[in-house]
Structure 1
Amino acid sequence: MKTLEMDNVTKIYHDGPKEFKAIDQASFGIEEGEFVAIVGPSGSGKSTLLSIAGALLTPTSGQIRIDDKDLASLSSKKITQLRLDKLGFIFQSANLIPYLKIKDQLGLIGKLGALSKKAAEKRAKDLLEHFGLSERLDHFPNELSGGQRQRVAVARALMNDPSIIFADEPTASLDSKRGLEVVEMLANEIKTRNKSGIMVTHDERVLHLCDRVITIKDGKLV
C-alpha cells in the first residue's frame, strides 16, 4: 500500500515579474516498509520537496495524497492534525527544546496528539529505553552527545506511531560513525515497524541502507 503519492507537483516562487520553479512537476510514491533517499546538489529542491511531501508547505499545483487523503481537500486544522497523527519529522540538528528534559520532549508530542498523559509517559519511557537512553530520561539536551540527541529525535518522530517518517539531513551534525549509526537505526525502525521513510541527504555513505534513491536536479526528479 502506498502511504504517500505525489502527482505532478510544482512549487513556484515569485520575485517581482520573475518566477522560479523550486519543484517542477515531481511525481513519486512510497510504500509501507520502504525507505527512500532524495539526493541532489545544494539548491536542487530537496528540502522543498520534503516540506511539501510532509504537508509543511503547500504546492502551487499538483496533487498530494497521504494514506489516501487528498491534502487539497483538507482544512488547515485537519492538515495540522494529520501531521500529528500520521507524520514524524527528524531534522539536521535534532531540534530539541533546550529547557525540556528528554522524557518531556516526547511527552509533549504525545500531549499534542491523542495520547493521555499516562499513555504518553509510558510510550516515551518505552521508546527511550528501546533506543538505549533509559538513564537519560531526566537529562536536558545539552547534557547529551550529538548521537544521543539524534536518537531522541528518532524516538520523538515515532511517538505518535506515524505512517511516514521524514528525515532532513539527519547526519549533517554528526561524524561519519555516529551518522551511520543513526541512519542504520532509522532504517531498522522503518522496516520492523512497517513505516515509510523519506530522507534528504548529502551523505553517500548511508545510501546502501535505503531501498531506493531519487535524484533531484533543478527541481526535477531525474
Structure 2
Amino acid sequence: MTLVMENVSKVYKDGPKEFKAVDHVSLKVKQGEFIAIIGPSGSGKSTMLSIAGALLSPTNGKILLDGENIEELSPKKVTKRRLEKIGFVFQAANLIPYLKVKDQLNVINVIAKNKGQARGKDLLRHFGLAHRTNNYPSELSGGERQRVAISRALINDPKLILADEPTASLDSKRGREVVEMLAAEIKNRGKAGIMVTHDERVLDVCDRVVEIRDGRLEN
C-alpha cells in the first residue's frame, strides 16, 4: 500500500482573490511507514489530510492510492474506496452517544456491508476494551473513547490510516498510548499512516516528520 500526492494544490476563491490552502505539495507514504505532519495553525495540515483521504478534491494534482488515481473515479467509487481502504481518526472521538461500544464498530459494518463482528471483538480486545463492550461513550474515559474511535477506524482493515490531532484531548500518557497503538497497527500490518499533530512529545514514534508552512512542505 502506498499513498502518492503529486504536485497537489487546493485554491479557494473569494471574488477576485485567491487563497492557496495547499501549494504544490508532493508526498509519498510507503507501506509500513508512519509520518507526522507538523506546522502552525492555518498552515494547511488538515486540508492536506482531507485531500489525502479523498474527503476534499484538489484544485490541481494527483492522488494515487495503490497506483489508482482517485481523481479519475466517480463520486460513488470514491466513497467506496474510502470505506474499503481508508481509516480516519479525528481529534474528537465522535462516537454516537446512544450506541454501546460494540455497536460503534458494528454500525460501520452495516454501512460497508461487511461481516466484521469477529474483527470488532478482536480489535476491542486488542486495545484493552473487552470489558467495555456494553458501555456507552459517556461511561468511558477520554483515552477509552479515543481507543474505541481507533478500533472503529480499523474495523474494515484499511490500507491507509489518517489521524488528525488524535492526542489533542488526551493527557501526555494517554496521548502517547494512542499514537503508539496507531504506529504498531501501521508497522505490524503493513499499512501507510499520516498523523497531523501539534504534539511534539509523540514525534519520536513516527518514522518521518514533515513540516508544512503556508501550504508548502518545508522538508
TM range (shorter): over 0.9
Specify the alignment match of 2:99 in structure 1: 100
Counterpart of 1:176 (choices 156, 172, 176) is 172
With 83-92 and 101-110 compared, the bigger mean Cα shift is at: 101-110
**Secondary structure at the residue paired with 2:2?**
strand
Matched, 1:13 2:3: no
CA RMSD after TM alignment? 0.9
Per-residue displacement from partner, 1:30-58 (whole Å, max 9, x unpaired)? 00000000000000000000000000000
Matched, 1:206 2:202: yes
Specify the alignment match of 2:110 in structure 1: 111
Q: CA deviation at 1:72?
A: 1.5
Q: What is the CA–CA distance in structure 2 between the aligned matches of 1:188 and 1:70, rounded to whole Å?
A: 28
Specify the alignment match of 1:3 in structure 2: 2
Q: CA deviation at 1:109?
A: 1.1
Instruction: Please show how residues 32-181 of structure 1 align to structure 2 within 5 Å.
Output: 32-116=31-115, 120-181=116-177
Q: What is the CA–CA distance in structure 2 between the aligned matches of 1:129 and 1:204, rounded to whole Å?
A: 29
Q: What is the CA–CA distance in structure 1 between the aligned matches of 2:200 and 2:111, rounded to whole Å?
A: 35
**Secondary structure at the residue paired with 1:65?**
strand
**Secondary structure at the residue paired with 1:92?**
coil
Normalising by structure 2, we get a TM-score of: 0.98
Q: What is the CA–CA distance in structure 2 between the aligned matches of 1:185 and 1:121, rounded to whole Å?
A: 21
Amino acid of the residue matched to residue 200 of structure 1?
V
**Secondary structure at the residue paired with 1:202?**
coil
Amino acid of the residue matched to residue 100 of structure 2?
K
Q: What is the CA–CA distance in structure 1 between the aligned matches of 2:98 and 2:113, rounded to whole Å?
A: 24
Q: What is the CA–CA distance in structure 2 between the aligned matches of 1:69 and 1:31, rounded to whole Å?
A: 15
Q: What is the CA–CA distance in structure 2 between the aligned matches of 1:191 and 1:93, rounded to whole Å?
A: 24
Gaps of 5+ in 1: none
Matched, 1:217 2:213: yes
Q: What is the CA–CA distance in structure 2 between the aligned matches of 1:51 and 1:133, rounded to whole Å?
A: 29
Amino acid of the residue matched to residue 126 of structure 2?
H
**Secondary structure at the residue paired with 1:6?**
strand
Per-residue displacement from partner, 1:63-105 (whole Å, max 9, x unpaired)? 1111111012100000000000000000001111111111111
Q: What is the CA–CA distance in structure 2 between the aligned matches of 1:64 and 1:123, rounded to whole Å?
A: 29
Percent identical residues: 65
Per-residue displacement from partner, 1:113-142 (whole Å, max 9, x unpaired)? 2413xxx22111111011110111011111
**How many residue pairs are counted as aligned between the two chains?**
218
Q: What is the CA–CA distance in structure 1 between the aligned matches of 2:213 and 2:130, rounded to whole Å?
A: 42
Per-residue displacement from partner, 1:131-177 (whole Å, max 9, x unpaired)? 11011101111110000011111111110010000000000000111
**Secondary structure at the residue paired with 1:127?**
helix
Amino acid of the residue matched to residue 171 of structure 2?
D
Matched, 1:193 2:160: no
Q: What is the CA–CA distance in structure 1 between the aligned matches of 2:88 and 2:71, rounded to whole Å?
A: 21
Instruction: Please show how residues 16-27 of structure 1 align to structure 2 within 5 Å.
Output: 16-27=15-26
